[in-house]
């Protein structure tokens, strides 16, 4: 059935960078836009960009961005006849799309039946098997009895991947390495699936330990035309979520590339599809990459986070293609008009602490500076954030996507690295250092990676001790902030050496600074001496020399009014790090005590308590509480055997980072 309805006004049922991009694309096509926003997002960039913006009261995703009835009512009230869901949230929610169809609105994507079939990964695998697409070995049936599922896992052979039947984005996924931890992994995956997708059902797959994640972007119109846009590689991941993506996929022969493209097109032709989609494959690379060990994993019936790398190598705008097709038009190009041009990479800048197992972070972006386009013409930055925004515990912690394009892979990597060097973020911990390290890693440079590469080599990527030269330069910056050099401090007091105590990486260090001449300084600490010449401060930047080597460190300083502490963030090319100059009047008693037998909240979030009461006996390793934040669940476990002495939180209560949740007492 041909749909001839046209988009008159578009509601964007999303937030952040993807909402901003959709709004810009709609404006290019002269389509008026409506943004929706939660209480948390009242001052967000997507709200400012849209022609109209409507608040859905609340903060939780379920009551705002996934509130289908409120979104439909806004469409009716403000005369929007089309909805673009972006990615995540309601983009693959078949029940919501049914309501959209019932209200005769245009949904930017396929119909509800297709979304339901492909969203239920078990059903999707059966459909693909019938279409002749190879699928990964596993169980994707209806029986959800936990003993039956464990029996199936035993038959498949450990390790196995337990994953949510619905949804995506790495939510509701756990690896069971053996029979003993199967039930705990099953419980966590099922609970997280229920939280995120309102569907606790799971499926089981053979876990491939050395896997590549390769996907193919596809498009189809209502006239039966189907094209692919070549492949992308999304292998570099943590916690089943992507960090760096690229297109095309490295070390893929022309034959395998053509094979995957044809598979994806045939898969789409086997179903009544319309719009953008992605066929995801997993390749077992234990014995090298060949097409006989590449399996269908799942299909995403929406635009992907990483779609810009495909846009770069094919010179297309996939969001505009979506709107074009939703307007009832044919595909803008045929397959032979879509050509592969160069290489593109995308790095996701997240608010997370890799030193704490990638724990998401929340807080204010008190400093956020992206480089100018003219400084990096081969890169673009997609973001929905600006300086002063609050990264909320309610939503995904992605701050921005940085996308590069080059004539070849090496050039694209260099462009991306150079752009990352010029990014400054302060006020919140991010993965910026990790991104820089990954892009110069030899295995990554050679394309010799697998999905667990980061986690299996985490010691190489965590922030270890900072180079002593950088610490010494940091002390000069802090000293200058205390006693600006232009005040000729030495002439008024003339001390031989100035002592200063600075906390870097939770460690207090004493520095001793001596001015040896006009622009020359000596910095001593930890039995090391550094002699800096040509020291100069300009526009929050320190430049200096050691012998003939030049150093440049940029910085941001923020005074915490509640403590009087001065918080410094330093930006060098290779690393960003923080230091604190503590208020000497702050009492130690005001700082958080370190209770051996207490559980503290590792971040902002919502507490889940299940049958936990005072006087309960617990064993070391027992899950005491669960913290829901950034659409993920985190288990807080008992540090030792004991008895619950006090509980300081309630089920469903929102808690802040470092707040005490409960106390244990020893078993007598």
Structure-model confidence comparison of residues 453 and 623, the more confident one: 453
CA distance 501 to 287: 54
- Average pLDDT over every residue of 27-54: 96
CATH code matching the domain that covers 468-581, chosen among 3.30.200, 2.60.40, 3.90.400, 3.30.700 = 3.30.700
- Read off the pTM: 0.84
Q: Above 90 in pLDDT, residue 637?
A: no
User: Residue 464's pLDDT band (boundaries 50, 70, 90)?
Assistant: confident
User: Residue 571's pLDDT band (boundaries 50, 70, 90)?
Assistant: very high
Closest-CA residue to 229 (of 302, 162, 164, 309): 309
Q: 3-state DSSP call for residue 325? A: helix
* % of the chain at pLDDT higher than 90: 62
DSSP 329: P
**Residues facing 346 on adjacent strands:** 245, 403
Q: Above 90 in pLDDT, residue 44?
A: yes
Q: Token pair of 546, please? A: 């050691």
- Regarding the domain with residue range 342-464, which homologous superfamily does it belong to in the CATH classification? ATP-grasp fold, B domain (3.30.470.20)
Where in the chain do CATH 3.30.1490.20 domains reside?
137-206
Q: Annotated active-site positions, please? A: 302
Q: What is the 3-state secondary structure (H, E, C) of 615-662?
A: CCEECCCCEEEEEEECCEEEEEECCCCEEEEEECCCCCCEECCCCEEE
Point out the least confidently predicted range of 94-98, 204-208, 345-349, 607-611: 607-611
Q: pLDDT value at position 591?
A: 40
User: Residue 629's pLDDT band (boundaries 50, 70, 90)?
Assistant: confident
Q: How many CB atoms lie within 10 A of CB 48?
A: 12
* % of the chain at pLDDT higher than 70: 94
Closest-CA residue to 154 (of 182, 112, 121, 193): 182
| Degrees to nearest 5, angle at CA 323 with 319 and 326 | 135
Output the CATH code of domain 137-206.
Answer: 3.30.1490.20
Average per-residue pLDDT for the chain: 90
177's CB contacts (< 8 A; 6+ apart) are: 158, 159
Q: Above 60 in pLDDT, residue 2?
A: no
CA distance 305 to 239: 16
Output the CATH code of domain 10-108.
Answer: 3.40.50.20
Q: Above 90 in pLDDT, residue 623?
A: no
Q: Give the containing element (helix H, strand E) for 260.
A: helix 254-269
Q: What is the 3-state secondary structure (H, E, C) of 606-617?
A: EEECCCCCCCCE
Q: Above 70 in pLDDT, residue 121?
A: yes
Reported as a single tens digit per residue, the pLDDT across 369-387 is 999 999 999 999 999 999 9
Q: Token pair of 160, please? A: 């196995």
Q: pLDDT value at position 492?
A: 47
| Degrees to nearest 5, angle at CA 468 with 463 and 470 | 80
Structure-model confidence comparison of residues 591 and 9, the more confident one: 9
Where in the chain do CATH 3.40.50.20 domains reside?
10-108
CATH fold of the domain at 593-665: OB fold (Dihydrolipoamide Acetyltransferase, E2P) (2.40.50)
Q: pLDDT value at position 173?
A: 85
Point out the least confidently predicted range of 29-38, 214-223, 281-290, 535-544: 281-290
Structure-model confidence comparison of residues 110 and 625, the more confident one: 110
CA distances from 522 to 294, 473, 544, 548, 637 (A): 59, 10, 12, 16, 48
Q: pLDDT value at position 566?
A: 93
User: Residue 325's pLDDT band (boundaries 50, 70, 90)?
Assistant: very high
- Average pLDDT over every residue of 307-313: 98
Where in the chain do CATH 3.30.700 domains reside?
468-581
Where in the chain do CATH 2.40.50.100 domains reside?
593-665
């Amino acid at each position: 059935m041909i749909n001839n309805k046209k988009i008159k006004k578009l509601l964007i049922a999303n937030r952040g960078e993807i909402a901003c991009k959709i709004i810009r694309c709609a404006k290019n096509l002269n389509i008026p836009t409506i943004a929706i926003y939660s209480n948390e997002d009242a001052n967000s960039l997507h709200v400012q960009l849209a022609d109209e913006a409507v608040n859905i009261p609340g903060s939780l995703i379920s009551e705002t961005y996934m509130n289908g009835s409120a979104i439909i009512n806004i469409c009716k009230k403000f005369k929007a006849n089309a909805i673009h869901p972006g990615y995540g949230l309601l983009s693959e929610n078949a029940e919501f799309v049914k309501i959209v169809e019932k209200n005769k609105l245009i949904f930017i994507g396929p119909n509800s039946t297709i979304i339901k079939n492909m969203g239920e990964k078990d059903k999707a695998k059966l459909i693909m098997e019938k279409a002749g697409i190879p699928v990964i070995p596993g169980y994707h049936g209806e029986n959800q009895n936990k003993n039956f599922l464990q029996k199936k896992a035993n038959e498949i052979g450990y390790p196995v991947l337990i994953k949510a039947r619905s949804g995506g984005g790495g939510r509701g996924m756990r690896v069971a390495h053996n029979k003993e931890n199967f039930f705990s992994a099953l419980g966590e995956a099922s609970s997280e699936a229920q939280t995120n997708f309102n569907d606790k059902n799971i499926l089981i797959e053979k876990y491939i330990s050395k896997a590549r994640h390769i996907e193919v972007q596809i498009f189809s119109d209502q006239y039966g035309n189907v094209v692919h846009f070549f492949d992308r590689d999304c292998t570099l991941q943590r916690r089943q979520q992507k960090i760096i993506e690229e297109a095309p996929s490295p070390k893929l022969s022309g034959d395998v590339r053509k094979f995957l493209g044809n598979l994806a097109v045939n898969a789409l032709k086997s179903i009544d599809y319309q719009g953008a989609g992605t066929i995801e494959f997993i390749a077992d690379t234990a014995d090298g990459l060949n097409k006989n060990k590449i399996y269908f994993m799942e299909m995403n019936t929406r635009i992907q986070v990483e779609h810009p790398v495909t846009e770069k190598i094919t010179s297309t705008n996939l969001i505009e293609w979506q709107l074009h097709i939703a307007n009832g038009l044919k595909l803008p190009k045929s397959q032979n008009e879509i050509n592969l041009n160069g290489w593109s990479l995308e790095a996701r800048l997240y608010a997370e602490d890799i030193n704490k197992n990638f724990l998401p972070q929340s807080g204010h972006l008190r400093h956020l500076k992206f480089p100018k386009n003219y400084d990096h013409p081969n890169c673009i930055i997609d973001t929905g954030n600006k300086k002063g925004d609050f990264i909320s515990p309610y939503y995904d912690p992605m701050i921005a996507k940085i996308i590069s394009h080059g004539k070849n892979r090496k050039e694209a990597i260099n462009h991306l690295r150079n752009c990352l060097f010029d990014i400054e973020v302060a006020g919140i911990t991010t993965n910026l250092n990790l991104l820089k390290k990954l892009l110069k890693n030899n295995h990554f440079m050679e394309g010799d990676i697998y999905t667990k590469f980061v986690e299996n080599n985490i010691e190489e990527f965590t922030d270890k001790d900072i180079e002593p030269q950088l610490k010494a330069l940091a002390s000069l910056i802090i000293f200058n902030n205390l006693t600006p050099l232009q005040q000729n401090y030495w002439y008024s007091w003339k001390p031989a050496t100035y002592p200063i105590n600075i906390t870097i990486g939770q460690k207090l260090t004493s520095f001793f600074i001596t001015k040896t001449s006009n622009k020359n300084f000596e910095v001593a600490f930890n039995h090391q001496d550094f002699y800096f010449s040509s020291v100069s401060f300009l526009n929050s930047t320190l430049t200096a020399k050691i012998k003939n080597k030049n150093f440049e460190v940029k910085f941001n300083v923020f005074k915490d009014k509640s403590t009087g502490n001065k918080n410094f963030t330093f930006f060098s090319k290779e690393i960003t790090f923080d230091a604190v100059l503590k208020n000497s009047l702050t009492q130690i008693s005001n700082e958080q005590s370190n209770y051996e037998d207490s559980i503290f909240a590792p971040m902002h979030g919502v507490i889940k308590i299940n049958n936990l009461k005072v006087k309960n006996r617990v064993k070391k390793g027992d899950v005491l509480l669960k913290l829901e934040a950034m659409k993920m669940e985190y288990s807080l476990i008992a540090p030792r055997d004991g008895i619950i002495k006090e509980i300081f939180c309630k089920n469903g209560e929102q808690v802040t980072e470092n707040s005490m949740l409960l106390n244990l007492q020893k078993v007598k």
